[in-house]
Amino acid sequence: MSSPPRVRFAPAPTGFLHVGSARSALFNWLHARHHGGTFVLRIEDTNTELVQPEFYDAITGPLQWLGLDIDEGPYYQSQRLQLYADAIARLLASGDAYFCDCTRVAIDARLAELAGRAGYDGFCRDRQVADGPDVVVRFRVPDSGSTVIDDIIRGHVSFAHAELEDFVIRRSNDTPVFLVANAVDDADMAITHVIRGEDLLNTTPKVQLLWTALGYGEPPRYAHLPLLVGDDRKKLSKRKQAVALADFQRAGYLPEAMANYLSLLGWGPPDDIEIRPMTEIIELFTLEAVHKAPAFFDMKKLDHVNATYIRALPVDDFIERCEPWLTNEAPWPADSYVPEIFAELAPAIQEKAHTLADVPAFVDWLFLADPPIDDDSWRKAMVEGRAAPEMIDGVLARLDHVEWTADAMYALVSEVGEANGLKLGKAQAPIRVAVAGRTVGLPLFESIVLLPRGEVRRRLVAARTRLD
């Protein structure tokens, strides 16, 4: 354990990279970085029937976005098939594996009579079946004894061989099952630590058995991470929305916030400071400190972490990161967007936005010819609020003579409010709704003077008209 660790993240390209997978990747990466080790990416694509080419990029893209730089690979198992075939041949030769031509239906029929058993009954163990089409290779699990996994997170986990079936290691289409590829590659790539989700814990003794039969010597250390669960306390599933890492990117989460939050699921820094730079997390992270219980993926907390990161961004950086939401994704026509106006307001927006996707809603009224007026806001400020018509009339009366600055507007609205017995908080509401369309938003006077005076007048008049 004195030499630097070599870890691997080994996803199958069968879908978009899931947050749970991303968390596994992160923990592997953290372990490697903490110990100055190597982070290897290996694509587990032995099952050609399930693999979809478009998902290869769906792995490396999000990893890169998250900031998990890869030291080695990607290795593709589909390009290493000969290695696995050789290993299987060796197992066949040594008698640790055998051919089987049973169909699932036949197996199930036999199993139905031996109540309580599942999997495979060992029917072909000594039938000397010859290789051929529709023939698989199975591993001969020892009848007695057990395999013990010394898991860094879970301690010793024991599996009785009697509970393990003679599992398939080569499919009838001649492709190896991931268990073989796992053992072969982990040995070949000199992997020292296998860090992955707890859902793989049950497959570990099988890989271990293969490892031993292949004579690989000292196996890697295992660390099975607690699963990430959703509202229903069940493993985060692809069925639900927003479990792909790319969805979070699209929803306006910063990669560093995402990585920071993910590091907090199943682990916590010893000093309780949760939001901090990745360099510090690397320094503090250890697998030994990862705990065992499943972790709920809490969007509320993610939002909080994200908002904290957004606020901490240098304003120029913030503006740059908002770019996609201000252009391609923006709700306004491209030619009406004025970068200078946005830049002026950016610091205030940083204070309020929880995600980058929230950003356009703060400024859309500045770039839209006719911003929509929110019904609830209208009701609250114009109908239920006191003196809305008086406020608008009062402001309108002096609008053309006021200096077009935030301070002057502040004074104007304050005075008109006072004349109507309203404090500023109440007084500004009708003006805000008339001009910006909502009761909530940026500091009003600072932002309203960014609109031409004539446009503000037009909106006030329109609101006043609607009020009658």
Partner RNA sequence: GCCCCCAUCGUCCAGCGGCCUAGGACGCCGGCCUUUCACGCCGGUAACACGGGUUCGAAUCCCGUUGGGGGUGCCA
250 lies in the site for RNA, by CB under 7 A: no
Among 293, 328, 335, 401, binds RNA (CB under 7 A): 293
Among 444, 450, 460, 463, binds RNA (CB under 7 A): 444
- Which residues 36-55 are close enough to bind RNA by CB under 7 A? 44, 46-47, 50
Q: Write down the least CB distance from residue 163 to RNA, Å.
A: 4
φ, ψ at 182 (rounded to 5°): -55, -55
Could you give the CA distance from residue 302 to residue 296 in angstroms, rounded to a whole number?
11
Burial class of residue 274 (count of CB atoms within 10 Å of its CB; 0-12, 13-18, 19+): middle
φ, ψ at 221 (rounded to 5°): -80, 145
386 lies in the site for RNA, by CB under 7 A: no
Q: Write down the least CB distance from residue 423 to RNA, Å.
A: 7
233 lies in the site for RNA, by CB under 7 A: yes
Could you give the CA distance from residue 178 to residue 169 in angstroms, rounded to a whole number?
8
Hey, what are 61's tokens? 């893209």
294 lies in the site for RNA, by CB under 7 A: yes
Q: Write down the least CB distance from residue 101 to RNA, Å.
A: 7
Cβ closest to RNA, residue 217 vs residue 425: 425
339 lies in the site for RNA, by CB under 7 A: no
- Which residues 387-416 are close enough to bind RNA by CB under 7 A? 406, 410
The DSSP call for residue 373 is P
201 lies in the site for RNA, by CB under 7 A: yes
173 lies in the site for RNA, by CB under 7 A: yes
Q: Write down the least CB distance from residue 153 to RNA, Å.
A: 8
Cβ closest to RNA, residue 234 vs residue 453: 234
Q: Write down the least CB distance from residue 445 to RNA, Å.
A: 4
Stretch that binds RNA, among 25-33, 325-333, 390-398, 432-440 (CB under 7 A): 432-440
Among 163, 280, 283, 317, binds RNA (CB under 7 A): 163
318 lies in the site for RNA, by CB under 7 A: no
In this structure, are strands 97-100 and 136-139 parallel, antiparallel, or unpaired?
antiparallel
- What distance lies between CA 241 and its chain's CA centroid? 11
- For 393, other C-beta atoms within 10 Å of its C-beta total 15
Stretch that binds RNA, among 186-194, 210-218, 243-251, 298-306 (CB under 7 A): 298-306
Among 361, 368, 446, 458, binds RNA (CB under 7 A): 446
Cβ closest to RNA, residue 229 vs residue 391: 229
- Which residues 263-282 are close enough to bind RNA by CB under 7 A? 264-270, 272, 274
227 lies in the site for RNA, by CB under 7 A: yes
Question: Are 50 and 79 spatial neighbours (Cβ–Cβ below 8 Å)?
Answer: no
Burial class of residue 144 (count of CB atoms within 10 Å of its CB; 0-12, 13-18, 19+): exposed
Which candidate in 234, 238, 292, 423 is catalytic? 238
238 lies in the site for RNA, by CB under 7 A: no
85 lies in the site for RNA, by CB under 7 A: no
Cβ closest to RNA, residue 70 vs residue 107: 107
Burial class of residue 424 (count of CB atoms within 10 Å of its CB; 0-12, 13-18, 19+): middle
- For 237, other C-beta atoms within 10 Å of its C-beta total 12
**DSSP per-residue string spanning 1-60:** --SPPEEEE---SSSSPBHHHHHHHHHHHHHHHHHT-EEEEEE----TTT--THHHHHHH
What is the chain's length? 468
CA 434 → CA 402, 404, 464, distances in Å?
Answer: 18, 18, 8
235 lies in the site for RNA, by CB under 7 A: yes
Among 445, 449, 456, 460, binds RNA (CB under 7 A): 445
325 lies in the site for RNA, by CB under 7 A: no
Among this protein's residues, is 238 annotated catalytic? Answer: yes
Among 36, 116, 132, 314, binds RNA (CB under 7 A): 116
Element (H, E) at 196: strand 193-197
133 lies in the site for RNA, by CB under 7 A: no
Q: Which residue has the tokens 């098939």?
A: 81
Cβ closest to RNA, residue 226 vs residue 360: 226
Helices 388-399 & 406-419 angle (0-180, nearest 10): 130
Catalytic residues: 238
